[in-house]
Structure 1
């Protein structure tokens, strides 16, 4: 599920793109989250914080941040990794639920280096949450990038966190785990090997193609060219509409794509099933502590012919606060105390 690519030398700007590949609609909306919002870990409430930075995020079912950028030009991207194994929750260690994992970093950090230092200093755990409507339990890893061009891949393997931190780590897909992906890349012509550039939708093949094409992009003359160039790379790594492979939600079609300019703070969203591209210029958004949480309902605004397109920075509306799924929610659903949320058909 998904491909993420960083282009750190786009004529003075850092551009990042990602595909969201999944076997069903995720009910994705964009949210504007201001500074000062109080949040907790979604596990036992031991870890709490107030957001230092405002952010624009893309959600799944309005319960989890799966992609986003904050006002400091720090961004994060959730992707599928079947090999993820988070270990048994140790209450003595700080923990974050999968739903709020990305949001913690968007709320608190301006650089990848600071985020990595926090991870390594605190031995933070990640706690899995089942989708309350389907019972599906995600296995995910996380990419972080910032306006300096720095990059990190965060994975949990056999209960232990593995951090791959370097500006050279520009591409990320799915299986196998990241260190093995890097080793496989050395077999490809141009990266130390003699195998031709592969063309299938396998994660390893998408990794090779994205790594190949991002380093061959011409210098853009404008932000428009830079964003278009990144779209050309992630579209090459996209997966066509297809029946998903049995038992492999990561082997699925691309349902939406995002390109973000981390230097000039523009966040561009494209659905593969709806006609228009929209973007948010963070400079036009009020992230002040007393400003409301707001969302852009992509399901209704993009689905109609001739619907919303272009700069949508002023189209966010108040629809209540974003509520991240927590262990408490799941216990409530299991006990019958609350109804599991509906899913798009």
Structure 2
């Protein structure tokens, strides 16, 4: 599931928040990935590259980037979209494994406009990969945003990438596809319709609430107020914990949340199962080519007495770079 919402005019700063909603723990840690790392497409194809930008990412199972931002202020967010159709893997087309899809953009682009142009020029295909532990094959779409306030939503429908590129695309949730979400929003009071602002956890209802409340945030007097304002919106779109329902085995709950300040290059992470909020200042990380990657273990001490809290920019442990899931894995 999940919700992503962008606040492009927070007293001169651009902020974006997201909820990660999932039916089980994703084993998420934070990673610091410097420039100069060599990567490939993960599907045995023709795409390979060397990271031009360093980035901080939230991983899933330490083998897939699902959220993050780079040192240029470009951020990306993977969310669920059941309607996704990537087409049959065509080995004659440039392709990226789903695990490294977001990372490709963080490695190579500083703006949404350049990333959107690349998608159009290359006609890249995304190849879904099954979770090694469960065999579940995710169906996802991608939001990109940058420090200029630009935004794009990328969905694969009927085997091709559809890109909605506009500064007006501030919110993304899940089903239905993005164009239909925009039409549903027009039925809500405040967006041209008469339907009262909805309150359920359905994707279209979360979309409406996020759009409504981000458009009514007061201008912050500080960066702390800006981050707090964004958290107030995404928490309104969060999904509570729930007793497992045998009729809905994949019913989601919000397991963590992030707020990225794309202007001041700060990445804030809040787990809904841990008491402490942590943040990373990207300008305090060593992204230089040849520097080691770093990993911040969020799965360690989760007690009320200990655990990570506050600014954790200096707490990353040197490690080998994240190894992304590949088609052969």
Q: TM-score range by the shorter chain?
A: over 0.9
How many Å apart are 1:92 and its aligned residue? Answer: 1.4
1:240 equivalent in alignment to 2:240: yes
Counterparts of residues 99-110 of structure 1 (less than 5 Å) = 99-110=99-110
Q: Cα deviation per residue 1:268-317 (whole Å; 9 max; x = unaligned)?
A: 00000001000000011110001001100100044563321000000000
Q: Which residue in the other structure is 1:169 paired with?
A: 169
CA distance in 2 between partners of 1:165 and 1:4 (Å): 15
CA distance in 2 between partners of 1:58 and 1:76 (Å): 10
Between 302-311 and 24-33, report the one with greater CA deviation: 302-311
User: Which has more strand, going by share of residues?
Assistant: 2
Q: Which residue in the other structure is 2:146 paired with?
A: 146
- Say if 1:241 and 1:32 are closer, same or farther in 2 by CA, change over 3 A: same
Q: Cα deviation per residue 1:162-190 (whole Å; 9 max; x = unaligned)?
A: 10110000000000000000000000001
- Measured on the aligned residues, the alpha-carbon RMSD in Å equals 1.1
Q: How many residues align?
A: 328
Q: Which runs of 5+ in 2 are unaligned?
A: none
CA distance in 2 between partners of 1:22 and 1:183 (Å): 26
Between 17-26 and 43-52, report the one with greater CA deviation: 43-52
How many Å apart are 1:243 and its aligned residue? Answer: 3.8
Q: Which residue in the other structure is 1:53 paired with?
A: 53
Asked if the contact 1:41/1:95 (under 8 Å) is kept, the reply is yes
In the superposition, the TM-score normalised over structure 1's length comes to: 0.93
SS at match of 2:288: coil
Asked if the contact 1:23/1:244 (under 8 Å) is kept, the reply is no
CA distance in 2 between partners of 1:161 and 1:303 (Å): 44
In the superposition, the TM-score normalised over structure 2's length comes to: 0.98
Q: Cα deviation per residue 1:49-72 (whole Å; 9 max; x = unaligned)?
A: 000000000000001000000000
SS at match of 2:201: coil
1:274 equivalent in alignment to 2:274: yes
Q: Which residue in the other structure is 2:78 paired with?
A: 78
Q: Which runs of 5+ in 1 are unaligned?
A: 330-345
Asked if the contact 2:73/2:265 (under 8 Å) is kept, the reply is yes
CA distance in 2 between partners of 1:174 and 1:301 (Å): 32
Asked if the contact 1:79/1:140 (under 8 Å) is kept, the reply is yes
How many Å apart are 1:160 and its aligned residue? Answer: 1.5
Counterparts of residues 1-345 of structure 1 (less than 5 Å) = 1-243=1-243, 246=247, 249=250, 251-303=251-303, 305-329=305-329
CA distance in 2 between partners of 1:236 and 1:192 (Å): 22
SS at match of 1:5: strand
CA distance in 2 between partners of 1:247 and 1:117 (Å): 39
